[in-house]
Amino acid sequence: MLPQGESHAFDSAGTLPSAMACRCDTDPLSNLFEWAPFAVLVTDPASGRFRFVNRAGQRLLGYDRDSFTRLVLSDIIPDAQLLRLLTRSPHPATAPAARSAPVRVIRKDGVELRVGLTPYRALLENRTYWISIIEDQTTRSAIERELRLAAAAFEQVQDGILITDGNLRVERVNKAFCRMFGYSPAESIGRRPRDLLRPDYDRWVLYQDPWRVLDEGAVWQGEVVARRKVGEQLPVRLRIHRVRSDSATSQHAVTVVSDLSGRKEAEHQIHRLAYYDVLTDLPNRSLLSDHLRRALSRARERGRRSALLCLDLDRFKDINDTLGPATGNELLRLMADRLRTVLREEDFIARMGGDEFAIVLEGVRDEHSVALVGDKVLNAFAHPCRLGDTEMVLGVSIGIALFPDHAGDPDTLLRHADTALYRAKEQGRNLYRFYTPELGQITSERFHIERELRRTLEQGELQIHYQPQARAADASMVGGEALLRWQHPERGWISPAQFIPIAEESGLILELGRWVLQQACADAYAWNSSGLRPIRVAVNLSGKQVIDGRIVDIVAEALDSSGLVPEQLELEITESFVIKNPEQGIRTLNALKALGVSLSMDDFGTGYSSLSYLHRFPIDRVKIDRTFIAGLPGDNYGVAITSSILAIAHTLGMEVVAEGVETAEQLAFLRDKGCDEIQGYYLCRPQPASRFLAFYRRLARLSPHGRGEAWAVVPTLQAADNA
């Protein structure tokens, strides 16, 4: 504000021009105020005419100096009452006003400004004048608001922010930075950012010192491994921005530090799950394919021989069924350990899924040397192993194919080793067999089943059962999975797990799959027309069906002919298909998705894990395989897998369905972990269509609005169902 002494300065000045038009440099008003950073208006209190307006005043109000000679104060201050108050206020001649008053002024272009006006009374040439000092509050309050917002943002953001001065010393840090690194603001200020972040030195030298090399306005970005105050590593992304400031010497830089530990962990896990079997920690089928391709090209280059051994645990299915999947898993881990122990470091061992393993041997001399390895593996399984309280002897069967003797490419080699394995099992198990061309045509049981299946399909002897699926949170029905049932006249009930693979191999699956789709859509249309809230039907698609190329038309046709809306159809796809054909998979799945149906990934986590592809596929739901659910909540392994699948799927915006939920404890665990949907015997076993609808009706009646307590009624429904 105007200091007192200065008022006197023009008080005592001898000559003053009487009109504004005279702008001689000796005008004391001009001398004093012309360049002042605030607007100064000098008016005659009697007439209200302007005696002088400085440059800032002209700029603020939009009039030039000449225009002011034609104006009076009331032209720019429209509030007459306020004007009177201001001009009559009895300020002493030379004292500054106590405070500035908020006033509205009208600019030349008609825009109203909110300003602060400080009035003075001053004596010039023996006359009293009013001096108004005006500050533009519109911009000031806007700046204040901006500053408040910026300060709030600075403290509230998730990312750490540090601001360094021209000497690369930290000037300010926000709360997030302090939280992330464990330093207090006081500990941070005055230090160099690299001393605070302590980035991984090896990688850091590549970057020089980005704070130093940055040009003004430029941005440097990079990921580094930093260290917390306590020493723990922390992967972060840095974004450094050199800030333009008014003085040339001040070279502030703003550094935004984003914590990547969550993402890095997820990426690592995704990679691990994509190429390794989570159960045994062995390479999975995809890594085996990669490895085999490379091994064969090495063998070709060097003119050497390689062997592929396919292994299968004898009677694994029986063990799994009688002792439960948790024991089955334990057994598979044990098997992996034994293989690791007997084989050399450079031999490649993979789990292909289920109880199948594969071994790749490079640089083998002849059949004899491979046979020695076969013996070694059989011997390793000859002594009994303990599983809980039970002791048992595990038998393995092995099929062997040689490169280049039996096959020249990985796929054929795999097929031939598989054929040899089949023969080994047929011939009494616990032995190995080499591939021979005569083995190529295996007929036997498979052939019969195939023929009968074809006949059955034609005669309409197949049935579909539906297994209910409900929301984990409140037991409300969401859908039912269609599961094929085949009642054979002599053999009795044949599991789809047995005949689907045969149908796949023979190509019969295309016809079979089409029938299932049409039947399931028709059944679902019927339930959804019964007055109950519509739910979806889930249909399993085999990889063969998806590859076939007609699947999009087939699905569209099934929807069309049944009248079912696409939102009520879900297609279940298996991981193995996805892993083997990622490119075609994406195309086909996108086309299916475009029809409006939803897609789920079946049997997730069973050894073909394709988490790395998962985010590229338009998948709505992931179904955790029931082998992982079986041991919950006691089995640490199952807990870890389930939790990480839930975390990753949810991160990718997908829902998670748990399969094979059999107990209240499993349900409680899954609900607690945020699992979205439940399927399994605890809710209901697969049912013929009519009983499925009856179950849905009862559940809906008992729990009309789907509440958490609704799960309590589920066992009563089961009892009613068994009655």
Which residues make up the interface to Ca ion (CB under 5 A)? Answer: 540, 572, 602-603, 659
3 state SS of 426: helix
Whichever of 399 and 585 has its CB closer to ligand C2E, that residue is: 585
Which residues ranging from 595 to 654 are in contact with ligand C2E (CB under 6 A)?
Answer: 602-603, 626
Q: Is 398:311 a contact under the CB 8 Å cutoff?
A: yes
571 lies in the site for ligand C2E, by CB under 6 A: no
Report in angstroms how near the CB of residue 485 gets to ligand C2E at its nearest: 7
Q: How far is CA 417 from CA 344, 357, 581, in A?
A: 21, 11, 22
Which residues ranging from 449 to 478 are in contact with ligand C2E (CB under 6 A)?
Answer: 467
- Provide the H-helix boundaries in 185-324: 185-188, 193-197, 201-204, 210-213, 261-275, 285-302, 316-323
Backbone angles phi, psi at 16, to 5 degrees: -135, 130
> What radius of gyration do the chain's Cα atoms show?
41
How far apart CA 19 and CA 28 sit, in angstroms, is 13
Which residues ranging from 226 to 255 are in contact with ligand C2E (CB under 6 A)?
Answer: none
Stretch of 71-79, 174-182, 376-384, 540-548 lying at the interface with ligand C2E (CB under 6 A): 540-548
Size of the site for ligand C2E (CB under 6 A): 23
Stretch of 25-33, 139-147, 538-546, 704-712 lying at the interface with ligand C2E (CB under 6 A): 538-546
164 lies in the site for ligand C2E, by CB under 6 A: no
Which residues ranging from 298 to 317 are in contact with ligand C2E (CB under 6 A)?
Answer: none
506 lies in the site for ligand C2E, by CB under 6 A: no
Cβ-count burial 545-556 (b if 16+ within 10 Å, e if not): bbeeeebbebbb
Tokens linked to 366: 């002849």
Task: Specify the residue for token string 């045509």.
Answer: 441
Q: Which does 662 bind (CB under 5 to 8 A by kind): Ca ion, ligand C2E, none?
A: ligand C2E
Whichever of 424 and 500 has its CB closer to Ca ion, that residue is: 500
Whichever of 575 and 603 has its CB closer to ligand C2E, that residue is: 603
> What residue type is assigned to position 589 of the chain?
L
How far apart CA 383 and CA 377 sit, in angstroms, is 11
How far apart CA 212 and CA 240 sit, in angstroms, is 11
680 lies in the site for ligand C2E, by CB under 6 A: yes
Whichever of 683 and 700 has its CB closer to ligand C2E, that residue is: 683
Q: Is 591:566 a contact under the CB 8 Å cutoff?
A: no
Report in angstroms how near the CB of residue 177 gets to ligand C2E at its nearest: 48
Report in angstroms how near the CB of residue 481 gets to Ca ion at its nearest: 6
Whichever of 637 and 681 has its CB closer to ligand C2E, that residue is: 681
Q: Is 613:601 a contact under the CB 8 Å cutoff?
A: no
Q: Which does 27 bind (CB under 5 to 8 A by kind): Ca ion, ligand C2E, none?
A: none
Q: Which does 681 bind (CB under 5 to 8 A by kind): ligand C2E, Ca ion, none?
A: ligand C2E
Whichever of 65 and 446 has its CB closer to ligand C2E, that residue is: 446
> Which residues are CB-contacts of 377 (< 8 A; sequence separation ≥ 6)?
309, 311, 339, 342, 343, 359, 396, 398, 432
Stretch of 253-261, 368-376, 424-432, 680-688 lying at the interface with ligand C2E (CB under 6 A): 680-688
Q: Is 255:193 a contact under the CB 8 Å cutoff?
A: yes
Whichever of 360 and 462 has its CB closer to ligand C2E, that residue is: 462
The end-to-end CA distance of the chain, in Å, is 94
How far apart CA 671 and CA 681 sit, in angstroms, is 16
Stretch of 105-113, 117-125, 481-489, 528-536 lying at the interface with ligand C2E (CB under 6 A): 481-489
Which residue of 30, 419, 542, 644 would you call a contact of ligand C2E, by CB under 6 A? 542
Give the interface with ligand C2E as residue ranges (CB under 6 A): 467, 482-484, 495-497, 500, 513, 516, 540-542, 602-603, 626, 659-662, 680-681, 686
